[in-house]
A and B are shown apart, each in its own frame.
Chain A
Amino acid sequence: MTVLGYLANGLVFSSIIVLGSIGLSLVYSIADFANFAHGDTMTIGAYTSLVTFGAVGGLGGAVLGLPYGFFVALLAGIAVAAVVAVGTEKLVYEPLDVDSIGLLITSIGIAFIYRAVIQIRFGSDFTRFDIQPLRPIEALLPYGVRVTLHDVAIVASAVALVVGLHVLLQYTDLGRKMRAMADNPDLARVSGIRTRRVKLWTWVIGAGLAGAGGVFLGLFNQLSPRMGFNLLLVIFAAVILGGIGSVYGAMAGGFLIGMINQLTPFFSAVVEAIPIWPGWLAAVVRSLVSIEYANAIAFVIMVLVLLIRPNGIAGEDAT
């Protein structure tokens, strides 16, 4: 594959990471804790749409190689992920009387409960959507780009959702309230913003985007009960890279981390080509920059960013 091909794959994977990281970042800044259940919210979205798609079927026509029924299933996945997240907030997080670290630990418990329920119902095996895998688009093959119409659909939907979120945040009343709350919750509260309601909407939006990300992840790869948890750290890496609390930073971070993840084979080709001295160092570098360590590289980048710029690329300087 050419560089262009890797970049195209990176774009598709980035779209999924961006959907996940926006939600995580929103919840991080407004509910004020690192939500470890975010990955499993994605899994919920994916499995809901799997069930819905199985129930409604194709519904006739298709767009971009995806039957209409899939879009119905996508909406169902978004809706159920949002409902589950709001229910969890109401039932578990809201009555809690602990600090943000306590909430973080609680969210791990929530993540386990989500995953356990899915695993009890669906088993731990991999599954797929019942959609015919497509051949790569012919017109792009000469450039070394192997993307299917499904990949185009993923990127297009992600772009639509991100643009929608941008409009919501910048031009609507709710968006202004959310930004105010992220800046300073107490000040927002004394200004007459109903912070509790805004928090619920944050959960709806964050979990909804995560649900969409989960559905696309299932379409891109496969579904398994661990899919969300496995992706969680990559998403955290993206959020931290972008700077916690900044939605636009999370978009940029998600884009970068997704690209780096998919460009790893290209990097290892580069490492093969350039001469490194001494020999043992070359061997170490070559064995570490390989496809098996794609996620590990993202985590190491995350730690390095934390060391150099603890507030991320787009984060404010002082906290």
Chain B
Amino acid sequence: MSALDAPKAALAGLTRPEGWVLGVSVAFVLFLLAALLTGALGPTYFLFLVGLAGMYALLSFGLNAQWGFTGLINFSVAAFFGIGAYGSALMTASGSPIAGGFNPLVGLVVALVVAFALALLIGIPTLRLRADYLAIASLGLAEVVRLIVLNERWLTNGSAGVRGIPGFFEGWPVLSTFPEAMPGLRLEVVPGSPILLETAFWQASLNVLLVLGFAGATFFVLRRAHRSPWGRVLRTIRSDEDLARALGKNTYSFKMQSFVLGSLIMALAGVFYTHLNLYVGPGDLDPITTFYAWVAVILGGSGSNRGALFGGIVIVTIREGTRFLNDVALPIDPAPLRLLLIGVVIVAVMRYRPQGILPPQRELIWPSAVDGGGAPETPDSGVRERKGGGGDE
């Protein structure tokens, strides 16, 4: 609201890193816009990228609820993401080895329920452990999940993956036929390079709307939760678990709640990914997915939801940028290049800015407490005067 009322004041109120991020983001958006208008970047592919960025942001929100809020080192992000993806894929796909053909909403519910069960299954043994043991144990259990998905062919189709997944809005009243119903448009902004908007484009815009809905809802829930008394306990656990325990908090229970919440958000990201990509395979459970989410969170600033959003966009830029580079400029295999960039980003962040680019600062304080409302009012008259003024010394 304040940003709309007084844009200049809002700009002046930014910290330096915030200003930088804003500047870079605006430049990046302009660059993408230019690429779109000249036809260098297909609008459908662009919307796919936006959807992917939203998905990584969602994944980072989930990890942020665990690591950023409570300090849980969860290295099983890929497992929850994969469970979400497989849960909804196996329920909805025509090529599913079990069930299949259900409404995507059923898939969503099933995926979340299975992720909830898995979160309890992984959380119960590991959340009592020391921080670094939790890291190792969760990575190990994620690997167990991956091996099960890879080897239990009767359930998951093994290494072939699941195909024939419908879009998320399949079976909905209006939205299921919306892409076909929309007319094909032909825009020509720059002469000679027309932009075609066809069924695939409308399909992709529906996906973007969906991920915006998911991510937006998650963002506001997490922001509210982080500022609530519940979130304050989590932050206390993160900085000093013994202190939280001394204050009479059942830290194990709080850690479990935060773990489950984060895991459900990761599964939500997986559900969206299924309907975006329309194919899931065991490769999606590769540990690299976990570390993508980690890079997004530590780059953005642990505990900061804005930072997680920013980190998600950076990840997609690295992921798709390396592919683009390989096509255009450097003949280097994109897979190791991506790995190298991720590694360099991790090391550089830990070396030069361990708190991340947008660490949570005012995010954690109720706005009314900052923007004048809650500021202590200066009394009109000094205390001494009111007391009768004994200015003797």
Could you tell me if B354 and A97 are in contact, using CB atoms closer than 8 angstroms? Answer: yes
Which residues of chain B (306-356) have a CB below 8 Å from chain A?
332-333, 335-337, 339-340, 342-347, 350-351, 354
Q: How many Å lie between the Cα of A114 and that of B333 in the bound state?
A: 16
Q: CB-CB < 8 A to A300: which residues of B? A: 140, 144
Could you tell me if B135 and A102 are in contact, using CB atoms closer than 8 angstroms? Answer: no
Could you tell me if B339 and A116 are in contact, using CB atoms closer than 8 angstroms? Answer: yes
Q: CB-CB < 8 A to A184: which residues of B? A: none
Q: CB-CB < 8 A to B137: which residues of A? A: 302-303, 306
State whether the Cβ of A153 lies closer than 8 Å to any Cβ in chain B: no
Report the tally of A-B residue pairs with Cβ distances under 8 A: 125
Instruction: Point out which of A109, A302, A304 has the most chain B C-beta atoms below 10 A from its C-beta.
Output: A109
State whether the Cβ of A240 lies closer than 8 Å to any Cβ in chain B: yes
A215 to chain B, nearest CB (A): 22
Q: How many Å lie between the Cα of A292 and that of B148 in the bound state?
A: 9
Q: CB-CB < 8 A to A100: which residues of B? A: 132
Could you tell me if B140 and A237 are in contact, using CB atoms closer than 8 angstroms? Answer: yes
| Interface secondary structure of B, over-half rule | helix
Q: CB-CB < 8 A to A110: which residues of B? A: 343, 347
Say yes or no: A101-B132 contact (C-beta < 8 A), given A292-B147, A303-B141.
yes
Q: CB-CB < 8 A to B347: which residues of A? A: 92, 106, 109-110, 113
Q: Which of B122-130, B174-182, B217-225 sits within the interface?
A: B122-130
Could you tell me if B144 and A119 are in contact, using CB atoms closer than 8 angstroms? Answer: no
Which residues of chain A (275-319) have a CB below 8 Å from chain B?
287, 292-293, 295-296, 299-300, 302-304, 306-307, 310
Could you tell me if A102 and B140 are in contact, using CB atoms closer than 8 angstroms? Answer: no
Q: How many Å lie between the Cα of A102 and that of B144 in the bound state?
A: 26
State whether the Cβ of B291 lies closer than 8 Å to any Cβ in chain A: yes
Could you tell me if A108 and B147 are in contact, using CB atoms closer than 8 angstroms? Answer: no
Could you tell me if B354 and A101 are in contact, using CB atoms closer than 8 angstroms? Answer: no
Which residues of chain A (95-153) have a CB below 8 Å from chain B?
95-98, 100-102, 104-106, 108-113, 115-117, 119-120, 123-124
Could you tell me if A112 and B136 are in contact, using CB atoms closer than 8 angstroms? Answer: no
Could you tell me if B151 and A233 are in contact, using CB atoms closer than 8 angstroms? Answer: no
State whether the Cβ of B357 lies closer than 8 Å to any Cβ in chain A: no
Could you tell me if B344 and A109 are in contact, using CB atoms closer than 8 angstroms? Answer: yes
Q: CB-CB < 8 A to B129: which residues of A? A: 306, 310
Say yes or no: A96-B133 contact (C-beta < 8 A), given A233-B139, A237-B140, A295-B147.
no
Q: How many Å lie between the Cα of A314 and that of B382 in the bound state?
A: 68
State whether the Cβ of A201 lies closer than 8 Å to any Cβ in chain B: no
Could you tell me if B294 and A108 are in contact, using CB atoms closer than 8 angstroms? Answer: yes
Q: CB-CB < 8 A to B141: which residues of A? A: 299, 303
Q: How many Å lie between the Cα of A92 and that of B143 in the bound state?
A: 28
Q: CB-CB < 8 A to A124: which residues of B? A: 333, 335-336
Q: How many Å lie between the Cα of A310 and that of B131 in the bound state?
A: 12
Interface size on A, residues (CB 8 A): 44
- With CB as the reference atom, state the residue of chain B lying closest to A230: B143
Q: How many Å lie between the Cα of A293 and that of B144 in the bound state?
A: 8
- With CB as the reference atom, state the residue of chain A lying closest to B154: A287
Q: CB-CB < 8 A to A97: which residues of B? A: 354
Q: How many Å lie between the Cα of A253 and that of B302 in the bound state?
A: 35
Could you tell me if A120 and B298 are in contact, using CB atoms closer than 8 angstroms? Answer: no
Q: Mark B55-77, 1 if CB is under 8 A from A, else 0.
A: 00000000000000000010000
B299 to chain A, nearest CB (A): 11
Could you tell me if A105 and B130 are in contact, using CB atoms closer than 8 angstroms? Answer: no
Say yes or no: A307-B144 contact (C-beta < 8 A), given A98-B354, A106-B347, A120-B332.
no
Q: CB-CB < 8 A to B130: which residues of A? A: 310
Which one of B135, B337, B354 lies within 8 Å of A116 (CB-CB)?
B337
A286 to chain B, nearest CB (A): 13
State whether the Cβ of B152 lies closer than 8 Å to any Cβ in chain A: yes
Q: How many Å lie between the Cα of A157 and that of B328 in the bound state?
A: 49
5 closest cross-chain pairs (CB), A and B: A109-B346, A112-B343, A299-B140, A116-B340, A119-B336
* Given A119-B339, A296-B147, A310-B129: 12 more A-B contacts, CB < 8 Å: A34-B132, A101-B131, A105-B346, A110-B347, A112-B346, A119-B333, A124-B336, A233-B143, A287-B152, A296-B143, A296-B144, A303-B141
Which residues of A are interface residues toward B (Cβ below 8 A)?
33-34, 92, 95-98, 100-102, 104-106, 108-113, 115-117, 119-120, 123-124, 225, 233, 236-237, 240, 287, 292-293, 295-296, 299-300, 302-304, 306-307, 310
